[in-house]
Structures are given as structure tokens and as C-alpha cells.
A and B are shown apart, each in its own frame.
Chain A
């Protein structure tokens, strides 16, 4: 019994950090006598180790982590800049050659420039004629390498906002899977995702003409008007557009007014590159209105929806959430 208490004191001294080297050896010898003794020592030590003060420096440590990562990225960026200058030098040499050696073919058709924007991000392109195109998440803009200020034709899948440089002599054409848009100098939004039921275009200012695929008829759209076509039945309609909320995405805002729940889900999925899985049909009949500046994370958006509408959410796995119908409690 005396012996047992002696070892217990020894263990406490070891945990408390004032064991002499001799005592440490003694303790080690005791532990090595049997597996039971070893387990007793380890389980008592484990209790001691897991007791913890409320003092927490996680936030500080996270800041240190990001600082380290940042300096690393900066270092690798220098390497990038270096390789960029090499590429630039090669391009300049190539340019000089192409100027000095005149080519016979004035139109280099065949090769196509593709500009695609991954889900979860947005981008902006300035074309050779000075036209600016903002592209939304998951969109793709194609134009042939023959594109110039006299040959203005691009094709688009996804969503883009065009600010077309005015030139009445050379119309600018945007081709989509459902219709072509011919303009001279205007600002308009086109939304033509292949997985959407409808394709739309909204005119902010100027004038545009629409030509349906497989038809020669040209429809005119007036400023502030929205053209919508059912991609399957090809039925179309015109309506007054809420231009501000239609094109807010290009400035990083996310505005929606009375849009059905499935549309909201689809827009969030694209905008944040996440998957939202919805169970139950109760939510399908809800319309949503809201405004996010897009600086919000998907968590913040879902939290806001959770507070204001009968939903709850759960993270299932990486970039995937489950949305559940949950009636709001009456206060």
C-alpha cells in the first residue's frame, strides 16, 4: 500500500514537472514492469493533459498561419512575374515578325478564342473593338481570331453584360443557342445558360434586334424591356424588366426580387460554386426577395435565408449543403 502511494506521488511529481532525473528513471522502470502499470500511468496522464484553461489563442494562430501563407504566395508570385517577362519577350519578338513578314491570308479563320469563367467567379473582357463584356459564373465567350472592329461577332453560353462600342456601319452580333442579337451600340444583358429553362435578354439602353435561330424575322427590343424564351417550346414573351436587379451581378451584387425558390438555388449554386440539395416540395412555391453585396459567404447567405424564411440548412460535405423545409415558429 505504502509502495502504491509512493508511485502515485512520483507520477504527480512527473506531471507537475519536478521530477529529478533519478526519479524519472525510477518511474520509467515502474511503468515497464507491466502493461497494466503502463496503462494506469498513461490514463492518469491523459486526464491531466486534457484539462485545459479557457485561455485560447486560436485566432492569433490563424492570423500567423495566413501571414506565413501570404509571404509564401508573394515569393511564388515573383517567380511568376519572372516567367511572365520571358513570355512577354517571346510575344514581342513574334509581333515584330508578324509585322515585318506580311502574310497572304488576311482572314485567319479556323482558330477560335475561348474565354471561360469558372463557377464561383466573374470576369471582364475588353474585345479588340473596345466592347466591354462582363461574364458571370460558369459562362463562356467565343470569338474567332478574325474578330476585329469590322468583323464583330461573338457567341455566348451563360450570362454576360455587353457594353458595345458604337459603330453603325459594323453591327455587333452575339450568338446564343436560341437566338442571335444584332446591335450597333448598346448596353444589354444576355442570360443563356444551357441548364436554364429560359433564355433571356434585357436591354439597358440603345436598341437591339433579335433573330431567332432558324428564322429570318427580326424582333426589336426596347430599352427597359426583357425578352424571354422558353428554350424547349420556343415560346417567347416581352415584359418590363427590373434592369437594376438584372444586371447587379456585374458589380458583385446579388439582387433578386420575387424569384421562385428553384431559381434562387440555381443562382446561388453558380455564384458560389456549391451544390444545394433540397428535399421536399414545400419550398417550391415560395418566392424570394433579397439583396446581397456578394461579399457575403455562402454561410452568411444561408444564415440570412434561415432567419427570414422557413428553411434550415446543413453542411453535408465539401461545397455541398442540404436545404430542409422548416416552418417558422409563430412568435
Chain B
């Protein structure tokens, strides 16, 4: 496997997820990611040390997204203005040095954390995030009021947030302990 294929294999999926934070259309997001890989292929940045390349990749993706959003603001109809503004706000937030879980953590470990949730929470995450069902459809399927579904999704996400931040706290302790 070449240098480049290795990076592509390791980062493509993470970068796509990262792009989808700010960009709704999946095909546009795929284009943005491809463009960033074309850039590091052409400027040979991929030959540098991996941590440098990683930072470069995430920064380039964010810039690509911001450009895309700027363009969308002009193209899109008035109704979508708010969601574009929210996405821009979010991209600028990460621009200022804050790191997303997607950049920081191992994706598999995040998914593994779902398994440690109570069944009720796990079920709702699967339906809502993985199967892409609308809240109203989940409400029908589980025979629950729609507000309860929404509250449950929020609680499930909060529980995950708790788990992940506690885990990274422990890994931190563990590494300190090793030294």
C-alpha cells in the first residue's frame, strides 16, 4: 500500500463525517473531501509527518466547507438562510482551535460507547441516527408521543457525551500514570 492510499484509507471516512457536520448534501460533501485529497496529492503534502498531514486535512476540509457555505448563502432560497448561518457559526467555532470528536477520537470507540447505553437509549439512537427515521415515524413505531421521542434522543446523546468525556478523562489519567 502506498503512502497516499494509507492516508486515504485512514482519513476519508472521518473527513466525510466531519464535512457532513457543516454540509447537508452528501454528494457535495464527497466532492469537498475529494478536492482536499487532490490538493494533498498535487502539493505532495501527504509525504509529510502524519500528525501534520492530519491537521492539514481537517483545516482544509473546514475551509472548503466555509467556501461552500458562502456560496450556498447566495444560491439557496431565503428559508434555508438560518441553517446555513448555523453551519457557518459551527465551522468558525472549530476554526478557532476547538476539536471535534471526529478529529480527536477513534470512531470505533465512539460507536462502541453506544453498546454500553441502556437498551432504551440504544434503540432510539439506532432508529433516529442510523436508520434515519423521522421523529414522527419513531413515535409511531414505538407507540410513544413525539415529545417523548425527542426527549429520549436528547437524553441518550447526553449520556453518550458523559461516557465519552469520562473515558477520555481516564485515558488521560492512565497516560499520566505511565509517565
Contacts and interface: CB of A to CB of B under 8 A. Distances in A.
User: Does A associate with B in a complex?
Assistant: yes
Contact of A47 (B1, B41, B161): B161
Contact of A50 (B2, B17, B125, B136): B17
Chain A binding surface, main DSSP class: helix
A91 interface: no
Contacts of A21: 79-80, 82
A65 B37 contact: yes
B73 interface: no
A31 interface: yes
Contact of B12 (A28, A47, A61, A319): A61
Contact of A318 (B12, B18, B48): B48
B128 A16 contact: yes
A317 to B, nearest CB: 6
B34 A50 contact: no
Contacts of A236: none
B2 A297 contact: yes
A49 B48 contact: no
A56 B33 CA distance: 14
Interface string A1-45: 000010011011101111101001101100100000010001111
Interface of B is mostly: helix
A45 B17 CA distance: 12
A52 B13 contact: yes
B129 A51 contact: yes
A85 interface: no
Max chain B Cβ within 10 angstroms of own Cβ: one of A21, A25, A47 = A47
A195 interface: no
Interface residues on B, range: 35 or more
Contact of A52 (B12, B107, B136): B107
B86 A31 contact: yes
Contact of B82 (A5, A11, A24): A24
A305 B8 CA distance: 26
A62 interface: yes
A46 B129 contact: no
Interface stretch (B63-71, B150-158, B166-174): B150-158
Contact of B135 (A12, A24, A46, A65): A12
A71 interface: no
B153 A16 contact: yes
A44 B47 CA distance: 35
Contacts of B83: 19, 24
23 contacts: A8-B151, A16-B128, A16-B153, A17-B134, A19-B83, A21-B79, A21-B80, A24-B82, A27-B86, A28-B86, A31-B86, A42-B93, A44-B157, A44-B158, A49-B17, A49-B18, A50-B107, A51-B130, A54-B111, A61-B30, A64-B34, A65-B8, A297-B2
Given A44-B154, A47-B101, 18 more contacts: A5-B151, A9-B151, A44-B157, A47-B164, A48-B129, A50-B17, A51-B110, A51-B114, A51-B125, A52-B13, A52-B107, A61-B12, A61-B30, A61-B33, A61-B34, A62-B12, A69-B41, A297-B2
